Amino acid sequence: MRMYVIFVVAVVLIAVLLYVLDRGLKAVQKGRRRRDAGIRLAAAAAYAEAQAAYAEAQANAEAKQQETSGALTTVMPAIQQPERGPRRVA
């Protein structure tokens, strides 16, 4: 009789150990996936920040160019020809 009780306890203990092992392995795998996703997310965020900085620099350069062009035309206006009528050939 005791042999059967020891056998049942051993089977239950093995089942519990296998369950705990399974949950531990799943937790490790989940942590690894999250770490990898975090690395990819950080890389994507850095790329997006670089793109935003580049776009902002381009916009600032374009605004500066327009400002410089406007300042130049106020100092040196375009040469305009006086209004003349059509040429006449005699």
Residue 59: both structure tokens together: 């916009």
User: With bands split at pLDDT 50, 70 and 90, how would you rate the model's confidence at 81?
Assistant: low
Give, in order, the Cα–Cα distances in Å from 1 to each of 4, 7, 8, 28, 63. Answer: 5, 10, 11, 41, 92
Q: How are the residues of the chain apportioned to helix, strand and coil, as percentages rounded to the nearest 5? A: 80, 0, 20
Gap between the Cα atoms of 24 and 20, Å rounded: 6
**Which has the higher per-residue pLDDT, 31 or 90?**
31
Token pair recorded at residue 32: 């690894």
Chain segment 11-61, per-residue pLDDT in tens = 999 999 999 999 999 999 999 999 999 999 999 999 999 999 999 999 999
Q: Is the pLDDT of residue 79 over 90?
A: no
- Single pTM value for the model: 0.53
Q: Is 71 helix (H, G, I), strand (E, B) or coil?
A: helix
Q: How far is it, in rounded angstroms, from Cα 88 to Cα 90?
A: 6
Residue 69 predicted with pLDDT over 60: yes
Does the pLDDT value for residue 85 go beyond 90?
A: no
Rounded to the nearest angstrom, the gap between the alpha carbon of residue 80 and the centroid of all alpha carbons in its chain is 51
